[in-house]
Amino acid sequence: MAVTTSDITAPPRSTRWRNWGGNQQAVAREVRTPGSVEEVAALVKEAADTGRRTKVVGSGHSFTAIAVADDLRVLLPGLSSPVSVDGHLVTVQAGMPMYALNAYLAANGLALPNLGDIDRQTVAGAISTGTHGTGRNHSTLASCVESVTIVTGTGDVRHFDKSDDDFPAVQLGIGALGILVDVTLRCVDAFTLRADECPMALTDVLAGLDEWIAADEHVEFYWYPYTDRAQLKRNTIVPVADQPLSRFRGWMDDEFLSNTLLGAVCRLGRRVPAVVPTIQAISARALTARTYTARSDEVFCTPRKVRFTEMEYEVPRAAMPEVLAALPRIIENLPFRVQFPVEVRFTGPDDIWLSHGYGRESAYIAVHQYSGSPYEPYFRAVEAVCEPLGGRPHWGKLHYREAASLRTAYPRFDDFLAVRDRLDPARVFANEYLDRVLGA
């Protein structure tokens, strides 16, 4: 029986929406919660026929306006279940949260080979914005995608896999090509990581970085502004979990220091900015080394309860020292204080058209500010350093680029636009953000 829009689950009452970081807000004309692929297709066809725009909103963990919908907002809690496991190929509905996916994979003796450091996103949101972790042999989460089913801008249900010429566009589509309804991911056998976390001087981190990246599967570090201190993190695959983190140490480091105390310190710094450099110095010196082993996703993903805004830029790995060298000068000249450390990660190349790491070894530099604190001069200054170096902004993190400059950063930019013309000719999935970064 054909599905009509009247069959679709009644929408929630509230049309107001705010993202996790608190910097994006919207009021939609209408909110829908389709519970099946057929309902999604009917909804999109109605939107196309009536000239409306629609956006799917996941967990709201993007800091850009990529999910802002002022017309028809779509939520997919009814499309968040596992579908099948076939060896290392796992198919799930695209509305599943990443933390639920990780638990499901673990229960089946599987894991994703790499993850970002937050697991609150939906699978569709993580894939579509280029979520990534760190690791010389890894790229974005989208590189694990083997096939997808999407509802296109005409309301057609289409399946894409690696045999399709358009697949490198659909793998990471920034919400411009269709609504993802299910995703097949290539996973690996479940594995254990040993996490080695060590505070040290930034100069020592930089001196040993090439060696660590070559020797360890996953390497990243944090630099504390106003100091010469950093924290190096190395994750290596090991056969057994023989060094568990004590419950007290886990609570102290990940809950109290990284969330409760950090939140209090950020609130103090916002009220009394002059104390921020002193706080950063104390925080950097208070860090202690720790080594532990745990299931891979439990090492990769950490709780983030202190809310912030973020910009993250990918640059060619060789350009990373130039960006880092510019940061102290930028931060010292700001009319406000920076309360969060700078995060630096590394990935290998892939061939996904709008992947930040397309075709090259990458370094990612992420800058943050506590929610409610000023950030734009800081983020714009960092962008001004990264863009001339060939930098590519993370699609889900704040940036100020437009289509003209992004075209020069992505060799297959126009190929992506051609796929968009075919799959969403009426721009049903467009919003102001996509008009800016892809062209109206």
DSSP code per residue over 411-432: TTHHHHHHHHHHH-TT-TT--H
Task: Classify residue 351: in a domain, yes or no.
Answer: yes
pLDDT of residue 244: 75
Check residue 77 and report its DSSP letter: T
Check residue 245 and report its DSSP letter: P
- Which amino acid is located at 229 in the chain? R
Is there a single domain that holds both residue 377 and residue 365?
yes
Count: domains in the chain: 2
Check residue 10 and report its DSSP letter: P
Domain boundary (351, 367, 393) is at 393
**What is the C-alpha separation between 430 and 440, in angstroms, rounded?**
8
Contact in structure between 39 and 7 (CB atoms under 8 Å): yes
pLDDT of residue 311: 98
Domain boundary (352, 368, 393) is at 393
Task: Classify residue 376: in a domain, yes or no.
Answer: yes
Is there a single domain that holds both residue 258 and residue 126?
no
Confidence (pTM): 0.92
Is there a single domain that holds both residue 294 and residue 382?
yes
Task: Classify residue 53: in a domain, yes or no.
Answer: no
pLDDT of residue 248: 53
pLDDT of residue 5: 38
The CA-based dihedral angle spanning residues 212, 306, 116, 196, taken in that order and rounded to the nearest 10 degrees: 30
Task: Classify residue 427: in a domain, yes or no.
Answer: no
Please list the ranges in the chain whose pLDDT falls under 70.
1-13, 246-261, 284-286
Is there a single domain that holds both residue 179 and residue 223?
no
Is there a single domain that holds both residue 243 and residue 182?
no
Task: Classify residue 75: in a domain, yes or no.
Answer: no
Kindly report the CATH number assigned to the domain that includes residue 205.
3.40.462.10
**What is the C-alpha separation between 440 and 385, in angstroms, rounded?**
27
Is there a single domain that holds both residue 167 and residue 225?
no
Is there a single domain that holds both residue 184 and residue 110?
yes
Task: Classify residue 61: in a domain, yes or no.
Answer: no
- Which amino acid is located at 5 in the chain? T
Domain boundary (189, 224, 245) is at 189
Is there a single domain that holds both residue 168 and residue 202?
no
Per the structure, the complete domain to which residue 312 belongs is given by: 192-393
pLDDT of residue 277: 77
pLDDT of residue 432: 97
Is there a single domain that holds both residue 198 and residue 143?
no
Among candidates 228, 248, 261, 273, which has minimal Cα distance to 373?
A: 273
Residues in the chain, total: 440
Task: Classify residue 28: in a domain, yes or no.
Answer: no
What are the CA-CA distances from residue 229 to residues 66, 338, 352 (Å)? Answer: 35, 15, 36
**What is the C-alpha separation between 89 and 374, in angstroms, rounded?**
44
**What is the C-alpha separation between 347 and 356, in angstroms, rounded?**
10
Contact in structure between 345 and 297 (CB atoms under 8 Å): no
**What is the C-alpha separation between 409 and 392, in angstroms, rounded?**
6
Is there a single domain that holds both residue 158 and residue 302?
no
pLDDT of residue 270: 78
Kindly report the CATH number assigned to the domain that includes residue 112.
3.30.465.10
Phi, psi angle pair for 136, to nearest 5°: -65, -25
**What is the C-alpha separation between 142 and 116, in angstroms, rounded?**
12
Is there a single domain that holds both residue 121 and residue 237?
no
pLDDT of residue 227: 94
Task: Classify residue 127: in a domain, yes or no.
Answer: yes
Among candidates 148, 242, 137, 124, which has minimal Cα distance to 188?
A: 137
Is there a single domain that holds both residue 129 and residue 275?
no
Contact in structure between 284 and 227 (CB atoms under 8 Å): yes
